[in-house]
Amino acid sequence: MEKMKSNESVHKGVRNLLLAMLAVLPAAVSAGPSGQAMAFTCAGCHGTDGSSVGPSMPAIAGMDPEVFVDAMKAYRQDERNSSIMNRIAKAYSDEQFKAMAWFFASQRLQLFPQKYDAALASRGSELHDEHCEKCHENGGRPGDAGTLAGQWMPYLQYTMEDFINGKRKWPRKMKRKVDAAIEEAGDDAIPALVNYYGSQR
């Protein structure tokens, strides 16, 4: 008799546990994956936790959340030139963009050394101070205008070519600033800025 009561008690406890799990399950499913979980899908191109190890892919660790969300929406709407990001972005909702944005914003950016031309970097430093520092503060470190300091130089070069060739929409004021830098330094302006940002650690 004691054994039967014990078994009944165990079965009742298991049943109650299952009922509690079933009650919580819909909420857990509707919450969806976390920003960190979704960010795992970005690691192949943008590096673990957003610090890219590839020369043509930008680092996105420490990125301002609004900059991230705006970029992803632009990709989703085919307003930003890309090889595959347009297709990837179409798979996510605005809320998922925000969740990933806050995850990447919380990550520490790891910078990797790259070869640069010291003379061009020095000229780029002058051009940055004169034309770019107001928006890209602290030498282009992560902020609400994106991250330039320490970004891979090939990525910066490709991005500038997209702006200049009309494949990517200029942010407010940027074209005027870039035009002024080119007027001042001619063909050396963009390589100088690219080498300067690439030199930053």
Average per-residue pLDDT in the chain?
A: 86
pLDDT surpasses 70 at 68: yes
150 and 178: one domain?
Answer: yes
Q: Are 22 and 65 members of one domain?
A: no
Q: Where are the alpha helices (DSSP H) in 32-152?
A: 35-39, 43-46, 65-76, 85-89, 94-105, 118-127, 137-140
Average pLDDT value for residue range 86-95: 94
Most confident of 95-99, 139-143, 163-167: 95-99
Chain centroid to Cα 6, Å, comes to: 56
Range of the domain at 11: 1-26
Q: Kindly state whether residue 136 falls inside one of the protein's structural domains.
A: yes
In 10 A of CB 140, how many CB atoms?
23
Query: 143-164: per-residue pLDDT in tens?
Result: 888 899 999 999 999 999 999 9
Q: Check residue 26 and give its pLDDT.
A: 41
| One domain for residues 100 and 125 | no
Has residue 180 been placed in a domain? Answer: yes
Same domain, 21 and 57: no
Q: How many domains are there within the chain?
A: 3
Q: What is the CATH number of the domain that holds 63?
A: 1.10.760.10
Q: Is residue 110 part of a domain?
A: no
Structure confidence at residue 31 (pLDDT): 58
Q: 22 with 48, same domain? A: no
- pLDDT, one tens digit per residue, over 107-142 is 999 988 999 999 999 999 999 999 999 999 999 998
How far apart are the C-alpha atoms of 23 and 40, rounded to whole Å? Answer: 29
Do both 43 and 2 map to the same domain? Answer: no
Tokens 């925000």 -> residue = 98
Q: What share of the chain is helix, strand, coil (3-state, %, to 5)?
A: 65, 0, 35
Q: Dihedral sign, CA of 11, 13, 17, 19?
A: positive
Does residue 93 carry a pLDDT above 50? yes
Does residue 124 sit in the same domain as residue 194?
Answer: yes
Q: Residues 80-102: what's their mean pLDDT?
A: 92
pLDDT tens readout for residues 8-61? 554 555 454 444 444 443 433 445 789 899 988 898 899 989 999 888 899 999
Residue 168 falls inside a structural domain: yes
Q: Residue 168, SS3?
A: strand
